[in-house]
Amino acid sequence: MDLTNLNAPQREAVEATEGAVLVLAGAGSGKTRVLTTRAAYLVEKGVPPFHILALTFTNKAAAEMKSRIASIVPNADDMWVMTFHALCARLLRIEAEYLGYSGSFTIYDAGDAMTVVKDILKELNVGKEAVEPRTVRYMISRAKNDGVSPARFREVYGEGDTVRYSAMVYARYEDRLRANNAMDFDDLLLKTLLLFEEYPEVLEKYRRRFRYIMVDEYQDTNSVQYRIVELLAKGSGNIFAVGDDDQSIYGWRGADIRNILDFEKSFPDARVIRLEQNYRSHQGILDAANGVIRHNSGRMGKELWSSVKTGQKPLEFEAESDLEEAQFVAEKAASLLREGKYTADDIAVLYRVNSQSRVLENKLKERGVPYVIYGGQSFYERKEIKDLLAYLNLLCNPDADLCFLRAIQTPKRGIGDVSLGKLFAAAQAQRRSLFDISADPDGIGKKAAESLKDFRGLIESLRRQSEELSVMQIVERTFEDSGLRAMMMSDATPEGRIRLLNIEEFFKSIADFERDTPAPHTLAGFLERSALISDVDAVGDDEGKIMLMTLHSAKGLEFPVVFITGMQEGLLPHQMSLMDGDVEEERRLCYVGMTRAKKRLYLTWSATRYVRSGAGFERMPCRRSRFLEEIPNGCIEPAVVKRQTAAYISREPVSHSPYSFAVQGKISMPPAAPEQIKKASHAPAAFTAGVLVSHPKFGRGQIVSTNGEGDEKIAVVRFDTAGEKKMFVAFAPLEIMQG
């Protein structure tokens, strides 16, 4: 094979065919090329394809890997290239009888598993007020990924009602699945591990089959996946693991970073190869990212580098509030699109939690910037937001049948589909609204009629109160009295916590409305404003769109332009990690976000943020993220913003205030209205190293170096009498001298 297209460490990894090999593949270092080339190289060296097993985490990644291998070597179909779950399902179809199952077992998806949990809770007479079915399902899944049996459940997870109920359901859940010859997705892993541990002859059979094992994204393996791989690999000793300890960001869903950090303990003769050349970003971005991740102690160590040495340094923007931060992102994105150097598809806006998208979406829509939420929903399309909006719209318009149907079923009130069907048919026949006809329902059961009466009474009570209470007060009262708050509080899953964060952000949107719009403030006015903001027609469906996504969703992607928003203590790193006293995974998350950028990286945060205080929201100061503090001096510059007039950046020492920029020198620009800003008389491109310039205050000077382009181009000018100064050449009063 021709390996000349590989760099030296990549080639070393491909040619390391025997023994245990760990490839620490940095972001953008070409790990997929190494994996696929190595698989083809093994075949060329005489290894039968059916002796090769390649494991990854997504069907998409597995399909891509198999396609690439097939384009290089024949007989690729004989090679097992698949996800962990697909491998285990295939093995169990063959060997299920060892565990008391038939090979035709059913695989329960998430919906099937939830149905079983709900049925068991009903049998135990445990209602939602005691524990949410979602929480129980999450706890069972967590236990299976941790390898914890029903017998050890309470021993491992402690006491409390949630643990007690989950333990009771877990035992019955396992019995129910076995009786139905069924397994859930977690069982596929756990039962395969059980098969290997309890039946050595089965393990030996597959050790002989899989002589060469390759694992992608090794840092994302959980304890069960790690044990399966370890048992298989102990046969031939040939394991090739590719991963990046600096990109381990899924600890919350079971990934164990110790699997990659302790690789050399598991395989004492292991060879470690580092892929450090990055083919994605320029060196300026990598210098900043390396500076951040260097502060983690739990890592094996590597330094990313690029052959592209020039490029715009990362830019930091400190906003006065999260609204101004979102405004900056929207205006900068619009500006980049107007310049024509980037398309909407080239730009990504990243944030730590989904709730941060609300103000970003609002400002992007105001500016007419097309966007799409990647891997998620628009803020106003999320279920918890639509549930609450259904109640609020019903208060203003009782004739809104769709809102009536949504509200009356969330949370459940003992009014089934049959009763609702009869109510709907009667409303249609009499040409009345559902709310109107609910006053005298006919033909439905006594229990349903009582529930309907209670619901109608709730809405009427809230409508009366809405005439006297503020918008914030009536929304809070609705959230409480409707049962939505109790329903969400009982959901202890990670998704449940995210829903509560989204509701908190919704309350913040009300505070924004009451603060930023003229009185009188009415619920109807707020709903109209929300409807206009959430109108997806405002975003052009036929255009390219910039991507909005969480930092977790961004892993594996790359963009020419990346914004990371909310870089302040409590958001990034997130408050939960600060409470736990462990911010290393948060730092890895920040590192992942920074290394998505190819050409431009914007890091933004707000010096104040509105937070709930008592009955309302109060503006509170925010501290600059420690990750910004960790970026080395000279590796980041302040972003140009329109609220500032152009002047210069002095060589004064950096303030250690949590609101200062991390640059060698601080910005010295008095605030001014946008119309006061004046551009320099020369285009930014005219200012290059060696050019002689004059300044009305500093006199004659020469440009030593420049960084960036357009309005963000900064020049270091050495003046004859004033020394070196940094200046934004697009705005500074510099004149180019002839000769």
- Give the pLDDT score at 344: 93
Mean pLDDT across 349-368: 90
Which stretch of 32-36, 418-422, 473-477 has the lowest confidence by average pLDDT?
418-422
Paired sense of beta strands 80-83 and 648-649, if any: unpaired
Tokens of 514: 């009451």
191 is catalytic: no
Q: Per the structure block, which two tokens stand in for 690?
A: 């060696």
β-bridge pairing 648-649 and 667-668 = antiparallel
Is 504 a residue of the active site? Answer: no
Each residue's pLDDT tens digit, 303-332: 999 999 989 999 999 999 999 999 999 999
**pLDDT value at position 197?**
95
Which position among 132, 186, 217, 346 bears the catalytic label? 217
- The residue annotated as part of the active site, out of 132, 216, 287, 505, is 216
Express each pLDDT in 389-428 by its tens digit: 889 988 888 877 778 888 888 888 878 788 888 888 887 7
Which letter, b or e, does each residue of 496-522 get, where b requires 16 or more Cβ atoms within 10 Å of its Cβ? bebbeebbebbbbbbbbbbeeeeeeee
Task: Please write the tens of the pLDDT for every residue from 63-77.
Answer: 888 888 888 877 777
Catalytic residue among 10, 31, 299, 584: 31
Over its C-alpha atoms, the chain yields an Rg (Å, rounded) of 30
In 3D space, the residue among 576, 378, 582 whose CA is nearest the CA of residue 494 turns out to be 576
What's the CA gap between 684 and 51, in Å, rounded? Answer: 60
Distances (CA, A) of 409 to 59, 66, 190, 388, 677: 36, 46, 37, 12, 55
Residue with tokens 């009786």: 179
Q: Are 231 and 203 in contact (CB under 8 A)?
A: yes
State the average pLDDT over residues 462-467: 89
pLDDT category of residue 109 using cuts at 50, 70 and 90: confident
- 638 beta partners: 316
Which member of 12, 17, 32, 64 is catalytic? Answer: 32
Q: Is the dihedral of CA 388, 389, 390, 394 positive or negative?
A: positive
Task: Report how far residue 132's alpha carbon sits from residue 123's, in angstroms, rounded to the nearest whole number.
Answer: 15
Q: Which of 247, 410, 568, 706 is catalytic?
A: 247
| Residue 596 bears catalytic tag | yes
Catalytic residue list contains 365 = no
User: Is pLDDT above 60 for 33?
Assistant: yes
Among this protein's residues, is 247 annotated catalytic? yes
Confidence band for 208, pLDDT divided at 50, 70 and 90: very high
Q: Which two tokens stand for residue 478?
A: 């609705």
pLDDT of residue 643: 55
State the catalytic residue, choosing from 142, 299, 382, 596.
596
Predicted TM-score (pTM) of the model is 0.74
Residue recorded with tokens 């619901």: 455
Rounded to an integer, the average pLDDT of 81-87 is 90
Angle at 729 between CA 723 and CA 731, to 5 degrees: 115
